[in-house]
Chain A
Amino acid sequence: SQTIHQWPATLVQPVGSPLSLECTVEGTSNPNLYWYRQAAGRGLQLLFYSVGIGQISSEVPQNLSASRPQDRQFILSSKKLLLSDSGFYLCAWSVGGANVLTFGAGSRLTVL
């Protein structure tokens, strides 16, 4: 069966520090991968999505970036965090064309 792993689960970082959140999917090949952000009490904002290795689409201009070094690995990064980067980051996958998303458990980032 397919599973999705996301880590770390919680993270507290100072302003200006770097960030790396990792997401891996097991049990499927060539998935579409997504990063969403959920600010406190807000909806789900699509940040990046990828339909294949090295193919990244950015939805919102910001100081975050995403990479997909392997078929089932999706990484969210930042060189210098801002206070406004605080939130709940969710990775998700889908089989191409179906758009049925399965989410990970999320990573809660607090920038101080």
Chain B
Amino acid sequence: GENVEQHPSTLSVQEGDSAVIKCTYSDSASNYFPWYKQELGKGPQLIIDIRSNVGEKKDQRIAVTLNKTAKHFSLHITETQPEDSAVYFCAASPASYDKVIFGPGTSLSVIP
């Protein structure tokens, strides 16, 4: 089955700097790669996703890149703000399955 790894497990950046979180997946059949943000005590919320037919997607300060050959994808947050502090999860979903497999998460702290 699919296995998703995520690095780093914790990340601390100064406000205004960029943050990068990297993930790898194992199942070459995966074709959908979402990113979720989880604030303390709440359920995760989808912030951006990418499908395997594109290599990069951007939405304001966040962007995701995908390298299908290497089976890795990354989340980039620019001009970080304190409200970006949260746990971020990457995930992968094979086209033939009705389930989404998550990475272990990255706890991001943005220092004012």
Taking Cβ atoms with an 8 Å cutoff, the residues of A that contact B are 32, 34, 36, 42-44, 46, 49, 51, 57, 59, 90, 92, 94, 96-97, 99-106, 108
Contact = CB atoms under 8 A, between A and B. Distances in A.
Interface residues of B, number: 21
Nearest to A43: B104
Interface of B: 6, 32, 34, 36, 41-46, 49, 89, 93, 98-105
Given A42-B104, A43-B89, 5 more contacts: A44-B44, A44-B89, A103-B43, A103-B44, A103-B45
B34 A101 contact: yes
Contacts of B103: 43
A105 B100 contact: no
Nearest to B1: A59
B43 A106 contact: yes
Given A43-B89, A44-B89, A99 B44 contact: no
B44 A49 contact: no
30 contacts: A32-B98, A42-B104, A42-B105, A43-B6, A43-B104, A43-B105, A44-B44, A44-B89, A44-B102, A46-B99, A46-B100, A49-B99, A59-B99, A92-B43, A94-B98, A99-B32, A99-B34, A99-B93, A99-B98, A99-B100, A100-B34, A100-B46, A101-B34, A101-B46, A101-B100, A103-B45, A104-B43, A105-B42, A105-B43, A106-B41
Given A90-B44, A106-B42, A49 B98 contact: yes
Q: A-side binding surface: helix, strand, loop or mixed?
A: strand
Contacts of B45: 103
A32 B49 CA distance: 19
Contacts of B93: 99
